[in-house]
Amino acid sequence: MFNDRSPIYLQIADGIKNDILSGALKEDDQVMSTNQYAAFYQINPATAAKGFAQLVDEGVLYKKRGIGMFVSPDAREKLRSERRQRFFTEVVEPMLTEARRIGIDVDEIVQHLGAQR
């Protein structure tokens, strides 16, 4: 599951975010505890806790003292909005810049995308 491209705690956070976006985790669903997560993936519990803490700081998860962590209300919409913005700034804008550089106009891109459906 984990790779060497980014810290494990960030990969944990991204994995949970992906589960929320895909609908595998819904708002107010309880997520595995950090100890369960650490045991399941054979990682240090502190690493799992760091990933979960980031999600709490971002408002994606919330804690119920003595019970566990849960998906925050509106977490899916919040994540979807953030990812859409990131998609345009990190994917679409560089693609359009490169297209202009090599002489591809927007109509040609749209035509190609239409053919991919």
Task: Give pLDDT tens digits for 49-108.
Answer: 999 999 999 999 999 999 999 999 999 999 999 999 999 999 999 999 999 999 999 999
> What number is the average pLDDT over the span 31-43?
94
d(CA 10, CA 2): 10
Assess if residue 1 is contained within a domain: no
Structural domain total, the chain: 2
Q: What is the pLDDT of residue 2?
A: 82
Residue 13 sits in the same domain as residue 66: yes
Residue 42 sits in the same domain as residue 97: no
Residue 26 sits in the same domain as residue 64: yes
Tokens standing for residue 91:
């994917």
Residue 60 sits in the same domain as residue 12: yes
Residue 14 sits in the same domain as residue 54: yes
Q: What is the pLDDT of residue 7?
A: 93
Q: Which domain holds residue 87?
A: 76-115
CB atoms within 10 A of CB 48: 23
Alpha helix ranges (H) inside 1-117: 8-22, 34-41, 45-57, 75-87, 93-101, 106-115
pLDDT for residue 37 is more than 80 = yes
Residue 36 sits in the same domain as residue 69: yes
d(CA 112, CA 110): 5
